[in-house]
Amino acid sequence: MNLRPSNVASHVAHTAAPEFLGSRMGAVSVSGSCTACGMCLVTCPTGALRPAAKRPIVIASRCTSCLACVEICPVDAISESR
């Protein structure tokens, strides 16, 4: 890894406890096409997706924008928030 200060800060931000990083972290959103299959819930490495009545809730402060959930969703219901 290139150890420029900006890269070090980014690395720390993506490995430190996400709950302390707030809005600096990324987030995704889940659309109404979700079928509640649960695959994203078990795929998310940081526990940023929580089960809810109709579709998973995104805990933005825990999301690192790894996009694993986007890749795994069989109906393309998850997209990266802007």
> Which positions lie near ligand SF4, rule CB under 6 A?
28, 30, 34-40, 43-44, 46, 48-49, 55-56, 58, 63-69, 72-73, 75, 77-78
Minimum CB–partner distance for residue 66 and ligand SF4 (Å)? 4
Residue with smaller CB distance to ligand SF4, 21 or 72: 72
Nearer to ligand SF4, 9 or 75 (CB): 75
Is residue 82 classed as helix, strand or coil in its secondary structure? coil
**Selection from 70, 38, 64 nearest residue 52 by Cα:** 38
Residue 17 CB, nearest approach to ligand SF4 (Å): 13
- 55 close to 34: Cβ distance less than 8 angstroms: yes
Q: What is the DSSP string of 21-79?
A: TGGGS--EEE-TT-----HHHHH-TT--EE--SSSPEE-GGG-----HHHHH-TT--EE
Shortest distance in whole angstroms from residue 5 CB to ligand SF4? 24
Q: Which is nearer to ligand SF4, 9 or 51 (CB)?
A: 51
